[in-house]
Chains A and B, each alone.
Chain A
Amino acid sequence: MTGNDKASSPPTVAGRTSSAAIEVDHLVKIYKQTRAVDDISFSLPRGSITGLLGGNGAGKTTTIAMIMGLVLPTSGRVQVLGHGMPEESASVLGRMNFESPYVDMPMRLTVRQNLTVFGKLYAVKNLSERIAALADDLDLTDFIDRANGKLSAGQKTRVALAKALINRPELLLLDEPTASLDPDTADWVRAHLERYRKENNATILLASHNMLEVERLCDRVIIMKRGRIEDDDTPEAIMARYNRTTLEEVFLDVARGRANGAKEAVR
Protein backbone atom coordinates (compact mmCIF):
# COMPACT_ATOMS: atom_id res chain seq x y z
CA MET A 1 0.00 0.00 0.00
CA THR A 2 1.38 3.41 -0.92
CA GLY A 3 1.24 6.44 1.28
CA ASN A 4 -1.48 7.89 -0.93
CA ASP A 5 -3.49 4.68 -0.76
CA LYS A 6 -3.25 4.76 2.97
CA ALA A 7 -4.26 8.39 3.17
CA SER A 8 -7.36 7.85 1.03
CA SER A 9 -8.51 4.63 2.71
CA PRO A 10 -11.61 4.87 4.85
CA PRO A 11 -10.93 4.68 8.60
CA THR A 12 -11.36 1.28 10.19
CA VAL A 13 -12.66 -0.38 13.30
CA ALA A 14 -10.28 -2.99 14.67
CA GLY A 15 -8.26 -2.78 11.50
CA ARG A 16 -11.12 -3.55 9.09
CA THR A 17 -11.62 -1.23 6.13
CA SER A 18 -15.08 0.27 6.43
CA SER A 19 -17.61 1.76 4.07
CA ALA A 20 -20.42 1.04 6.54
CA ALA A 21 -22.63 3.78 7.96
CA ILE A 22 -22.20 2.44 11.48
CA GLU A 23 -19.64 0.01 12.82
CA VAL A 24 -19.87 -1.11 16.40
CA ASP A 25 -17.00 -3.19 17.65
CA HIS A 26 -17.02 -5.06 20.99
CA LEU A 27 -18.94 -2.23 22.62
CA VAL A 28 -19.37 -2.36 26.40
CA LYS A 29 -21.05 0.10 28.75
CA ILE A 30 -20.98 -0.46 32.48
CA TYR A 31 -22.84 1.86 34.85
CA LYS A 32 -21.42 1.13 38.31
CA GLN A 33 -22.37 -2.57 38.72
CA THR A 34 -24.73 -2.79 35.71
CA ARG A 35 -23.56 -3.97 32.30
CA ALA A 36 -26.02 -1.95 30.21
CA VAL A 37 -24.33 -3.00 26.96
CA ASP A 38 -22.27 -6.17 27.02
CA ASP A 39 -19.77 -6.68 24.21
CA ILE A 40 -21.88 -6.11 21.12
CA SER A 41 -20.62 -5.81 17.53
CA PHE A 42 -22.50 -5.06 14.33
CA SER A 43 -22.07 -3.20 11.10
CA LEU A 44 -24.81 -1.36 9.19
CA PRO A 45 -24.37 -0.83 5.45
CA ARG A 46 -25.21 2.55 3.98
CA GLY A 47 -28.80 2.83 2.79
CA SER A 48 -30.14 0.17 5.14
CA ILE A 49 -32.95 0.36 7.69
CA THR A 50 -32.25 -1.64 10.82
CA GLY A 51 -34.53 -2.19 13.76
CA LEU A 52 -33.12 -2.45 17.25
CA LEU A 53 -35.51 -4.53 19.33
CA GLY A 54 -35.58 -5.47 22.98
CA GLY A 55 -37.51 -5.03 26.17
CA ASN A 56 -37.01 -2.21 28.64
CA GLY A 57 -33.44 -2.23 29.91
CA ALA A 58 -32.18 -4.31 26.99
CA GLY A 59 -29.57 -1.66 26.15
CA LYS A 60 -31.11 -0.15 22.99
CA THR A 61 -31.10 3.48 24.12
CA THR A 62 -27.60 3.22 25.59
CA THR A 63 -26.36 1.70 22.32
CA ILE A 64 -27.93 4.50 20.27
CA ALA A 65 -26.59 7.11 22.73
CA MET A 66 -23.06 5.71 22.31
CA ILE A 67 -23.43 5.84 18.53
CA MET A 68 -24.50 9.48 18.87
CA GLY A 69 -21.61 10.28 21.22
CA LEU A 70 -23.92 11.25 24.09
CA VAL A 71 -22.60 8.38 26.22
CA LEU A 72 -18.98 7.27 26.38
CA PRO A 73 -18.39 3.53 26.08
CA THR A 74 -16.54 1.70 28.83
CA SER A 75 -14.68 -0.18 26.11
CA GLY A 76 -15.03 -0.98 22.43
CA ARG A 77 -15.32 1.36 19.49
CA VAL A 78 -17.97 3.05 17.39
CA GLN A 79 -17.47 4.45 13.91
CA VAL A 80 -20.10 6.57 12.22
CA LEU A 81 -19.82 7.40 8.51
CA GLY A 82 -16.15 6.46 8.71
CA HIS A 83 -15.32 8.55 11.78
CA GLY A 84 -14.60 7.41 15.31
CA MET A 85 -17.17 8.53 17.87
CA PRO A 86 -16.99 10.61 19.93
CA GLU A 87 -13.43 11.75 19.23
CA GLU A 88 -14.20 12.71 15.61
CA SER A 89 -17.78 13.78 16.24
CA ALA A 90 -17.13 17.26 14.81
CA SER A 91 -16.65 15.66 11.37
CA VAL A 92 -19.86 13.72 11.43
CA LEU A 93 -22.53 15.38 13.60
CA GLY A 94 -23.63 17.65 10.76
CA ARG A 95 -24.32 14.61 8.58
CA MET A 96 -26.52 12.75 11.02
CA ASN A 97 -29.55 13.53 13.15
CA PHE A 98 -31.85 11.86 15.63
CA GLU A 99 -35.20 11.80 17.31
CA SER A 100 -35.74 10.47 20.80
CA PRO A 101 -38.40 10.60 23.51
CA TYR A 102 -35.59 11.53 25.93
CA VAL A 103 -35.31 15.02 24.46
CA ASP A 104 -37.81 17.76 23.64
CA MET A 105 -37.84 20.85 21.51
CA PRO A 106 -38.05 24.17 23.41
CA MET A 107 -41.70 24.60 24.36
CA ARG A 108 -42.08 28.37 24.14
CA LEU A 109 -40.58 28.65 20.68
CA THR A 110 -42.89 28.24 17.71
CA VAL A 111 -42.37 25.35 15.32
CA ARG A 112 -40.90 27.73 12.74
CA GLN A 113 -38.53 29.29 15.30
CA ASN A 114 -37.35 25.87 16.48
CA LEU A 115 -36.71 24.70 12.94
CA THR A 116 -34.93 27.98 12.15
CA VAL A 117 -32.58 27.59 15.14
CA PHE A 118 -31.76 23.96 14.36
CA GLY A 119 -31.45 24.71 10.66
CA LYS A 120 -28.86 27.37 11.47
CA LEU A 121 -27.04 25.03 13.85
CA TYR A 122 -26.80 22.50 11.01
CA ALA A 123 -25.86 25.25 8.50
CA VAL A 124 -28.77 24.32 6.22
CA LYS A 125 -28.69 26.25 2.95
CA ASN A 126 -31.88 28.00 1.75
CA LEU A 127 -33.34 27.42 5.19
CA SER A 128 -36.70 29.10 4.62
CA GLU A 129 -37.35 26.90 1.59
CA ARG A 130 -36.25 23.81 3.50
CA ILE A 131 -38.60 24.62 6.39
CA ALA A 132 -41.45 25.26 3.96
CA ALA A 133 -40.78 21.92 2.22
CA LEU A 134 -40.67 20.02 5.50
CA ALA A 135 -43.83 21.76 6.72
CA ASP A 136 -45.54 20.71 3.54
CA ASP A 137 -44.15 17.17 3.65
CA LEU A 138 -44.92 16.52 7.30
CA ASP A 139 -48.17 18.48 7.35
CA LEU A 140 -46.98 21.15 9.80
CA THR A 141 -48.32 24.15 7.94
CA ASP A 142 -51.45 24.62 10.06
CA PHE A 143 -49.49 25.01 13.29
CA ILE A 144 -46.06 26.17 12.14
CA ASP A 145 -46.41 29.48 13.99
CA ARG A 146 -47.78 27.91 17.16
CA ALA A 147 -45.61 27.37 20.26
CA ASN A 148 -44.27 23.83 20.49
CA GLY A 149 -45.68 23.46 24.00
CA LYS A 150 -49.21 23.98 22.69
CA LEU A 151 -49.09 21.08 20.25
CA SER A 152 -50.62 17.64 20.68
CA ALA A 153 -48.28 14.67 21.24
CA GLY A 154 -48.68 13.60 17.63
CA GLN A 155 -47.94 17.07 16.31
CA LYS A 156 -44.84 17.27 18.53
CA THR A 157 -43.60 13.97 17.15
CA ARG A 158 -43.97 15.29 13.61
CA VAL A 159 -42.07 18.46 14.56
CA ALA A 160 -39.32 16.36 16.13
CA LEU A 161 -39.15 14.38 12.90
CA ALA A 162 -38.91 17.62 10.91
CA LYS A 163 -36.00 18.66 13.13
CA ALA A 164 -34.39 15.24 12.57
CA LEU A 165 -34.68 15.70 8.79
CA ILE A 166 -33.77 19.40 8.63
CA ASN A 167 -30.18 18.74 7.50
CA ARG A 168 -31.07 15.88 5.11
CA PRO A 169 -29.05 13.46 7.26
CA GLU A 170 -27.16 10.56 5.76
CA LEU A 171 -27.72 8.72 9.02
CA LEU A 172 -30.91 8.93 11.03
CA LEU A 173 -31.16 7.48 14.54
CA LEU A 174 -34.72 7.10 15.77
CA ASP A 175 -35.83 6.04 19.21
CA GLU A 176 -39.54 5.12 19.17
CA PRO A 177 -40.34 7.38 16.19
CA THR A 178 -44.07 6.68 16.16
CA ALA A 179 -44.73 6.53 19.89
CA SER A 180 -47.86 8.47 20.86
CA LEU A 181 -49.08 8.72 17.26
CA ASP A 182 -52.47 7.47 16.20
CA PRO A 183 -52.32 4.49 13.78
CA ASP A 184 -53.07 6.63 10.74
CA THR A 185 -50.37 9.22 11.47
CA ALA A 186 -47.91 6.49 12.51
CA ASP A 187 -48.46 4.72 9.19
CA TRP A 188 -48.00 7.99 7.36
CA VAL A 189 -44.71 8.68 9.22
CA ARG A 190 -43.45 5.20 8.31
CA ALA A 191 -44.24 5.82 4.66
CA HIS A 192 -42.37 9.10 4.90
CA LEU A 193 -39.32 7.43 6.42
CA GLU A 194 -39.34 4.76 3.70
CA ARG A 195 -39.53 7.40 1.02
CA TYR A 196 -36.79 9.46 2.65
CA ARG A 197 -34.48 6.44 2.77
CA LYS A 198 -35.11 5.62 -0.89
CA GLU A 199 -34.70 9.17 -2.15
CA ASN A 200 -31.55 9.92 -0.14
CA ASN A 201 -29.95 6.48 0.26
CA ALA A 202 -29.99 7.29 3.96
CA THR A 203 -29.19 4.80 6.69
CA ILE A 204 -31.77 4.48 9.43
CA LEU A 205 -31.35 2.78 12.79
CA LEU A 206 -34.55 2.69 14.80
CA ALA A 207 -35.34 1.39 18.23
CA SER A 208 -38.97 0.45 18.55
CA HIS A 209 -41.43 -1.59 20.55
CA ASN A 210 -43.81 -1.62 17.61
CA MET A 211 -43.14 -4.97 15.90
CA LEU A 212 -45.41 -4.25 12.95
CA GLU A 213 -43.42 -1.09 12.32
CA VAL A 214 -40.16 -3.01 12.37
CA GLU A 215 -41.55 -5.72 10.08
CA ARG A 216 -42.73 -3.15 7.59
CA LEU A 217 -39.72 -0.82 7.62
CA CYS A 218 -36.63 -2.82 8.42
CA ASP A 219 -34.54 -4.99 6.19
CA ARG A 220 -32.63 -6.17 9.24
CA VAL A 221 -33.43 -6.68 12.90
CA ILE A 222 -31.07 -6.77 15.87
CA ILE A 223 -32.68 -8.19 18.99
CA MET A 224 -31.07 -7.22 22.30
CA LYS A 225 -31.57 -8.68 25.73
CA ARG A 226 -29.76 -7.72 28.92
CA GLY A 227 -27.20 -5.72 26.97
CA ARG A 228 -26.28 -8.51 24.54
CA ILE A 229 -27.31 -9.24 20.97
CA GLU A 230 -29.69 -12.17 21.07
CA ASP A 231 -30.26 -12.35 17.31
CA ASP A 232 -29.37 -10.42 14.17
CA ASP A 233 -30.88 -11.13 10.75
CA THR A 234 -33.62 -10.17 8.32
CA PRO A 235 -37.14 -10.17 9.84
CA GLU A 236 -38.12 -13.12 7.63
CA ALA A 237 -35.09 -15.21 8.62
CA ILE A 238 -35.61 -14.49 12.31
CA MET A 239 -39.29 -15.42 12.16
CA ALA A 240 -38.42 -18.63 10.31
CA ARG A 241 -35.69 -19.47 12.84
CA TYR A 242 -38.13 -19.13 15.73
CA ASN A 243 -40.91 -20.81 13.77
CA ARG A 244 -43.13 -17.77 14.27
CA THR A 245 -45.28 -15.76 11.89
CA THR A 246 -44.79 -12.36 13.50
CA LEU A 247 -41.91 -10.51 15.11
CA GLU A 248 -44.12 -9.88 18.12
CA GLU A 249 -44.17 -13.62 18.83
CA VAL A 250 -40.40 -13.76 18.42
CA PHE A 251 -40.06 -10.78 20.77
CA LEU A 252 -42.14 -12.56 23.41
CA ASP A 253 -40.10 -15.74 23.01
CA VAL A 254 -36.91 -13.80 23.59
CA ALA A 255 -38.30 -11.67 26.41
CA ARG A 256 -39.72 -14.69 28.27
CA GLY A 257 -36.68 -16.86 27.80
CA ARG A 258 -38.32 -19.25 25.34
CA ALA A 259 -35.95 -18.32 22.54
CA ASN A 260 -33.66 -21.34 22.75
CA GLY A 261 -36.57 -23.75 22.98
CA ALA A 262 -38.24 -22.25 19.94
CA LYS A 263 -35.03 -22.37 17.90
CA GLU A 264 -34.34 -25.96 19.00
CA ALA A 265 -37.85 -27.00 17.96
CA VAL A 266 -37.22 -25.71 14.44
CA ARG A 267 -33.91 -27.59 14.24
Chain B
Amino acid sequence: MTNISLHRGISVHRIGAMILRYWYLLMSSWPRLLELLYWPALQVITWGFIQHYVAENSNFFARAGGTLIGAVILWDILFRGQLGFSISFLEEMWARNIGNLMMSPLRPIEFLLSLMVMSLIRLAIGIIPMTVLALVMFHFNVYALGLPLIAFFCNLIFTSWSVGIFVSGLVLRNGLGAESIVWTLMFAILPLACVYYPVSVLPFWLQTIAWALPPTYVFEGMRALLIERTFRIDLMLDALAINAMLLGASFWAFLALLRSAKKNGSLLSGGE
Protein backbone atom coordinates (compact mmCIF):
# COMPACT_ATOMS: atom_id res chain seq x y z
CA MET B 1 0.00 0.00 0.00
CA THR B 2 1.25 3.45 -0.89
CA ASN B 3 1.48 5.94 1.92
CA ILE B 4 1.00 9.65 1.39
CA SER B 5 3.16 11.28 3.99
CA LEU B 6 2.05 14.37 5.86
CA HIS B 7 5.48 15.86 6.32
CA ARG B 8 9.06 14.77 5.38
CA GLY B 9 11.27 17.84 5.40
CA ILE B 10 8.94 20.80 5.86
CA SER B 11 10.15 23.85 3.92
CA VAL B 12 9.38 27.34 5.23
CA HIS B 13 10.34 28.59 1.77
CA ARG B 14 7.51 26.67 0.09
CA ILE B 15 5.02 27.72 2.78
CA GLY B 16 6.12 31.31 2.14
CA ALA B 17 5.58 30.81 -1.61
CA MET B 18 1.99 29.74 -1.01
CA ILE B 19 1.31 32.64 1.35
CA LEU B 20 2.73 34.97 -1.30
CA ARG B 21 0.39 33.40 -3.86
CA TYR B 22 -2.68 34.14 -1.67
CA TRP B 23 -1.40 37.60 -0.79
CA TYR B 24 -1.04 38.46 -4.48
CA LEU B 25 -4.62 37.25 -4.97
CA LEU B 26 -6.03 39.30 -2.09
CA MET B 27 -4.22 42.42 -3.22
CA SER B 28 -5.44 42.00 -6.80
CA SER B 29 -9.10 41.85 -5.87
CA TRP B 30 -10.91 44.55 -3.91
CA PRO B 31 -14.17 42.54 -3.74
CA ARG B 32 -12.28 39.82 -1.86
CA LEU B 33 -10.96 42.39 0.61
CA LEU B 34 -14.36 44.01 1.00
CA GLU B 35 -16.00 40.65 1.67
CA LEU B 36 -13.56 40.09 4.54
CA LEU B 37 -14.72 43.32 6.21
CA TYR B 38 -18.37 43.46 5.22
CA TRP B 39 -19.96 40.48 7.03
CA PRO B 40 -18.15 40.84 10.37
CA ALA B 41 -19.09 44.54 10.46
CA LEU B 42 -22.71 43.72 9.65
CA GLN B 43 -22.79 41.05 12.36
CA VAL B 44 -21.41 43.22 15.11
CA ILE B 45 -23.74 46.12 14.28
CA THR B 46 -26.85 43.92 14.23
CA TRP B 47 -26.02 42.00 17.41
CA GLY B 48 -24.76 45.12 19.13
CA PHE B 49 -28.17 46.74 18.79
CA ILE B 50 -29.92 43.54 19.87
CA GLN B 51 -27.67 43.43 22.95
CA HIS B 52 -28.47 47.06 23.66
CA TYR B 53 -32.23 46.49 23.36
CA VAL B 54 -32.25 43.31 25.46
CA ALA B 55 -30.08 44.88 28.17
CA GLU B 56 -32.53 47.77 28.49
CA ASN B 57 -35.39 45.35 29.09
CA SER B 58 -33.76 42.65 31.18
CA ASN B 59 -31.92 42.90 34.46
CA PHE B 60 -29.97 39.75 33.73
CA PHE B 61 -28.60 40.98 30.41
CA ALA B 62 -27.93 44.41 31.87
CA ARG B 63 -25.79 42.64 34.48
CA ALA B 64 -24.22 40.29 31.95
CA GLY B 65 -23.13 43.12 29.72
CA GLY B 66 -21.49 42.06 26.49
CA THR B 67 -22.36 38.34 26.47
CA LEU B 68 -24.21 38.59 23.19
CA ILE B 69 -21.77 40.87 21.40
CA GLY B 70 -18.85 38.92 22.88
CA ALA B 71 -20.40 35.70 21.61
CA VAL B 72 -20.79 37.22 18.15
CA ILE B 73 -17.11 38.21 18.03
CA LEU B 74 -15.95 34.80 19.24
CA TRP B 75 -18.32 33.00 16.87
CA ASP B 76 -16.88 35.05 14.02
CA ILE B 77 -13.37 33.99 15.00
CA LEU B 78 -14.54 30.37 14.71
CA PHE B 79 -16.53 30.80 11.51
CA ARG B 80 -14.21 33.24 9.72
CA GLY B 81 -11.18 31.21 10.76
CA GLN B 82 -12.61 28.20 8.98
CA LEU B 83 -13.74 30.21 5.97
CA GLY B 84 -10.34 31.90 5.74
CA PHE B 85 -8.76 28.47 5.57
CA SER B 86 -11.30 26.93 3.22
CA ILE B 87 -11.68 29.84 0.81
CA SER B 88 -7.93 29.91 0.20
CA PHE B 89 -8.18 26.20 -0.56
CA LEU B 90 -11.21 26.72 -2.80
CA GLU B 91 -9.29 29.38 -4.75
CA GLU B 92 -7.03 26.55 -5.96
CA MET B 93 -10.00 24.46 -7.00
CA TRP B 94 -11.72 27.39 -8.75
CA ALA B 95 -8.45 28.26 -10.54
CA ARG B 96 -7.89 24.56 -11.52
CA ASN B 97 -4.45 24.96 -9.98
CA ILE B 98 -4.57 22.02 -7.60
CA GLY B 99 -2.84 19.70 -10.11
CA ASN B 100 0.04 22.15 -10.46
CA LEU B 101 0.47 22.22 -6.68
CA MET B 102 0.18 18.46 -6.19
CA MET B 103 2.78 17.94 -8.91
CA SER B 104 5.16 20.47 -7.36
CA PRO B 105 7.50 19.74 -4.43
CA LEU B 106 4.89 21.27 -2.08
CA ARG B 107 4.06 18.73 0.67
CA PRO B 108 0.51 18.30 1.97
CA ILE B 109 1.54 19.56 5.43
CA GLU B 110 3.12 22.67 3.88
CA PHE B 111 -0.04 23.32 1.91
CA LEU B 112 -2.14 22.98 5.09
CA LEU B 113 0.23 25.19 7.10
CA SER B 114 0.06 27.91 4.47
CA LEU B 115 -3.74 27.74 4.59
CA MET B 116 -3.58 28.09 8.39
CA VAL B 117 -1.43 31.20 8.11
CA MET B 118 -3.82 32.61 5.51
CA SER B 119 -6.78 31.98 7.79
CA LEU B 120 -5.02 34.10 10.45
CA ILE B 121 -4.27 36.87 7.95
CA ARG B 122 -7.82 36.92 6.59
CA LEU B 123 -9.20 36.77 10.12
CA ALA B 124 -7.10 39.73 11.21
CA ILE B 125 -8.34 41.79 8.26
CA GLY B 126 -11.97 41.07 9.19
CA ILE B 127 -11.99 40.77 12.97
CA ILE B 128 -9.77 43.66 14.08
CA PRO B 129 -12.04 46.31 12.47
CA MET B 130 -15.01 44.39 13.95
CA THR B 131 -13.64 44.69 17.48
CA VAL B 132 -12.91 48.38 16.95
CA LEU B 133 -16.51 48.87 15.78
CA ALA B 134 -17.81 47.05 18.89
CA LEU B 135 -15.73 49.35 21.08
CA VAL B 136 -16.72 52.57 19.35
CA MET B 137 -20.42 51.87 18.84
CA PHE B 138 -21.31 49.67 21.81
CA HIS B 139 -18.50 50.31 24.31
CA PHE B 140 -17.63 46.61 24.34
CA ASN B 141 -13.88 46.12 24.56
CA VAL B 142 -13.13 42.49 23.73
CA TYR B 143 -9.44 43.08 24.51
CA ALA B 144 -10.44 43.87 28.12
CA LEU B 145 -10.98 40.13 28.50
CA GLY B 146 -7.20 40.05 28.82
CA LEU B 147 -5.25 36.79 28.82
CA PRO B 148 -8.37 34.58 28.71
CA LEU B 149 -9.03 36.05 25.27
CA ILE B 150 -5.83 34.35 24.05
CA ALA B 151 -7.08 31.00 25.39
CA PHE B 152 -10.48 31.55 23.76
CA PHE B 153 -8.86 32.57 20.47
CA CYS B 154 -6.45 29.63 20.33
CA ASN B 155 -9.14 27.07 21.06
CA LEU B 156 -11.53 28.54 18.49
CA ILE B 157 -8.89 28.83 15.77
CA PHE B 158 -7.76 25.22 16.35
CA THR B 159 -11.35 24.03 15.91
CA SER B 160 -11.77 26.19 12.80
CA TRP B 161 -8.63 24.65 11.28
CA SER B 162 -9.82 21.13 12.06
CA VAL B 163 -13.12 21.77 10.29
CA GLY B 164 -11.30 23.59 7.45
CA ILE B 165 -8.86 20.71 6.92
CA PHE B 166 -11.65 18.15 6.92
CA VAL B 167 -13.94 19.98 4.47
CA SER B 168 -10.97 20.77 2.18
CA GLY B 169 -10.27 17.04 2.06
CA LEU B 170 -13.90 16.41 1.16
CA VAL B 171 -13.71 18.91 -1.71
CA LEU B 172 -10.41 17.43 -2.88
CA ARG B 173 -11.99 14.00 -2.97
CA ASN B 174 -15.42 14.90 -4.34
CA GLY B 175 -14.71 18.00 -6.43
CA LEU B 176 -16.54 21.31 -6.32
CA GLY B 177 -19.84 19.46 -5.97
CA ALA B 178 -18.96 19.29 -2.27
CA GLU B 179 -18.31 23.04 -2.04
CA SER B 180 -21.56 23.79 -0.17
CA ILE B 181 -20.25 21.77 2.80
CA VAL B 182 -17.48 24.36 3.17
CA TRP B 183 -20.05 27.10 3.72
CA THR B 184 -22.53 25.18 5.86
CA LEU B 185 -20.78 22.63 8.07
CA MET B 186 -19.84 25.14 10.74
CA PHE B 187 -23.50 26.11 11.13
CA ALA B 188 -24.23 22.56 12.28
CA ILE B 189 -21.98 23.36 15.25
CA LEU B 190 -23.75 26.66 16.04
CA PRO B 191 -26.71 25.32 18.09
CA LEU B 192 -24.63 22.63 19.78
CA ALA B 193 -21.70 24.87 20.75
CA CYS B 194 -24.14 27.01 22.79
CA VAL B 195 -22.86 30.26 21.37
CA TYR B 196 -25.69 32.44 22.66
CA TYR B 197 -27.05 30.39 25.59
CA PRO B 198 -25.62 28.16 28.34
CA VAL B 199 -25.26 24.40 27.88
CA SER B 200 -27.78 23.87 30.69
CA VAL B 201 -30.68 24.91 28.43
CA LEU B 202 -30.08 21.87 26.19
CA PRO B 203 -31.77 18.53 26.88
CA PHE B 204 -29.43 16.21 28.76
CA TRP B 205 -28.65 13.96 25.78
CA LEU B 206 -27.71 16.97 23.64
CA GLN B 207 -25.50 18.32 26.43
CA THR B 208 -23.32 15.22 26.04
CA ILE B 209 -22.82 16.01 22.36
CA ALA B 210 -22.25 19.71 23.11
CA TRP B 211 -19.44 18.90 25.56
CA ALA B 212 -17.67 16.95 22.81
CA LEU B 213 -17.17 20.22 20.91
CA PRO B 214 -14.29 22.52 21.97
CA PRO B 215 -16.19 25.77 21.16
CA THR B 216 -18.78 24.88 23.82
CA TYR B 217 -16.05 25.20 26.48
CA VAL B 218 -15.00 28.55 25.05
CA PHE B 219 -18.49 30.05 25.07
CA GLU B 220 -19.19 28.70 28.55
CA GLY B 221 -15.84 30.14 29.60
CA MET B 222 -16.71 33.51 28.10
CA ARG B 223 -20.02 33.64 29.97
CA ALA B 224 -18.30 32.65 33.22
CA LEU B 225 -15.84 35.48 32.69
CA LEU B 226 -18.42 38.15 31.81
CA ILE B 227 -21.15 37.14 34.27
CA GLU B 228 -19.30 35.58 37.20
CA ARG B 229 -15.95 37.31 36.63
CA THR B 230 -14.23 33.89 36.80
CA PHE B 231 -11.71 32.50 34.34
CA ARG B 232 -12.39 28.75 34.04
CA ILE B 233 -8.97 27.42 33.08
CA ASP B 234 -10.28 23.86 33.46
CA LEU B 235 -12.67 24.50 30.56
CA MET B 236 -9.83 25.81 28.39
CA LEU B 237 -7.62 22.80 29.11
CA ASP B 238 -10.47 20.39 28.29
CA ALA B 239 -11.08 22.27 25.04
CA LEU B 240 -7.38 22.13 24.20
CA ALA B 241 -7.28 18.36 24.73
CA ILE B 242 -10.29 17.80 22.47
CA ASN B 243 -8.82 20.19 19.90
CA ALA B 244 -5.57 18.20 19.82
CA MET B 245 -7.57 15.06 19.02
CA LEU B 246 -9.68 16.87 16.42
CA LEU B 247 -6.63 18.34 14.67
CA GLY B 248 -4.95 14.94 14.57
CA ALA B 249 -8.12 13.35 13.21
CA SER B 250 -8.57 16.07 10.58
CA PHE B 251 -4.97 15.65 9.33
CA TRP B 252 -5.55 11.91 9.11
CA ALA B 253 -8.87 12.44 7.29
CA PHE B 254 -7.26 14.90 4.84
CA LEU B 255 -4.54 12.41 3.92
CA ALA B 256 -7.07 9.59 3.58
CA LEU B 257 -9.24 11.77 1.33
CA LEU B 258 -6.19 12.88 -0.70
CA ARG B 259 -5.24 9.26 -1.18
CA SER B 260 -8.79 8.44 -2.18
CA ALA B 261 -8.74 11.37 -4.66
CA LYS B 262 -5.55 9.98 -6.21
CA LYS B 263 -7.10 6.53 -6.39
CA ASN B 264 -10.27 7.93 -7.89
CA GLY B 265 -8.54 10.28 -10.35
CA SER B 266 -10.46 13.30 -9.06
CA LEU B 267 -7.34 15.49 -8.88
CA LEU B 268 -7.42 15.57 -12.66
CA SER B 269 -11.05 16.58 -12.93
CA GLY B 270 -11.78 18.65 -9.82
CA GLY B 271 -15.14 19.53 -11.31
CA GLU B 272 -18.64 18.85 -10.13
Q: CB within 8 Å of B: which residues of A?
A: 31, 36, 61-62, 65, 68-72, 86-87, 90, 93-94, 97-98, 100, 102-110, 113, 116-118, 120-123, 147, 163
Residues 1-18 of chain B, each 1 if its beta carbon lies under 8 Å from chain A, else 0: 011110011010110111
What would 11 more interface pairs be, CB under 8 Å, given A110-B24, A113-B21, A117-B24?
A: A70-B102, A72-B259, A94-B105, A97-B103, A102-B269, A103-B100, A105-B97, A106-B21, A109-B24, A120-B13, A123-B14
- Contact at B21–A72, with CB atoms within 8 Å? no
> What are 22 A-B pairs at a CB distance below 8 A?
A31-B265, A70-B102, A90-B5, A93-B103, A97-B103, A98-B103, A100-B99, A103-B97, A103-B100, A104-B95, A105-B95, A107-B95, A108-B29, A110-B24, A117-B20, A117-B21, A120-B14, A120-B17, A121-B17, A121-B18, A122-B105, A123-B13
Asked if B262 is at the interface of the complex by the 8 Å CB criterion, the answer is yes
Decide: A106 and B91 in contact? CB cutoff 8 A: yes
Q: Tell me the minimal C-beta distance from A228 to chain B in angstroms.
A: 18
The residues of B that contact A120 with a CB separation of less than 8 Å are 13-14, 16-17, 20
A-side interface mostly: mixed
How far apart are the CA atoms of A108 and B5 in the complex, in Å?
Answer: 31
Q: Does B57 interact with chain A (Cβ within 8 Å)?
A: no
Residue of A whose beta carbon sits closest to that of B100: A103
Which residues of chain A come closer than 8 Å to B269, judged between CB atoms? 102
How many cross-chain pairs have Cβ atoms below 8 Å apart between A and B? 105
Residues of A within 8 A of B99 (CB): 70, 100, 102-103
**B107 contacts which chain A residues (CB < 8 A)?**
90
Return the CB mask of B143-154 against A: 1 if under 8 Å, else 0. Answer: 000000000000
Separation in Å of the A38 CB from the closest CB of chain B? 15
A105 to B101, CA, bound (A): 10
| Bound Cα distance from A87 to B168, whole angstroms | 22
Q: Which residues of B contact A (CB under 8 A)?
A: 2-5, 8-9, 11, 13-14, 16-18, 20-21, 24-25, 28-29, 91, 95-107, 259, 262-265, 267-269
Note all chain B residues with C-beta closer than 8 A to A102.
96, 99, 268-269
Give the chain A neighbours of B17 by CB distance below 8 A.
117-118, 120-121
The answer to whether A70 touches B95 (Cβ under 8 A) is no
Known: A72-B2, A103-B100, A105-B100. Is A121-B105 also a contact (CB below 8 A)?
A: yes
Smallest CB separation, B249 vs chain A (Å)? 23
Residues of A within 8 A of B105 (CB): 90, 93-94, 121-123
Which residues of A sit under 8 angstroms from B101, Cβ to Cβ?
121
A41 CB → nearest B CB, Å:
19
Residues of A within 8 A of B28 (CB): 108-109, 147
Cβ of B20: which chain A residues have Cβ within 8 Å of it?
A: 116-117, 120
CA distance A120 to B18 in the complex (A): 9
CB-nearest residue of chain A relative to B16?
A120
- Indicate which residue in B3, B97, B268 contacts A70 across the interface (CB closer than 8 Å): B268
Closest to B96 in A: A104
- In Å, the complex CA distance between A257 and B20 comes to 52
Contact B2 A71 (CB under 8 A): no
Which residues of chain B are near A93, meaning CB under 8 Å?
A: 103-105
Q: Give the residues in chain A near B103, CB-CB below 8 Å.
A: 68-70, 93, 97-98
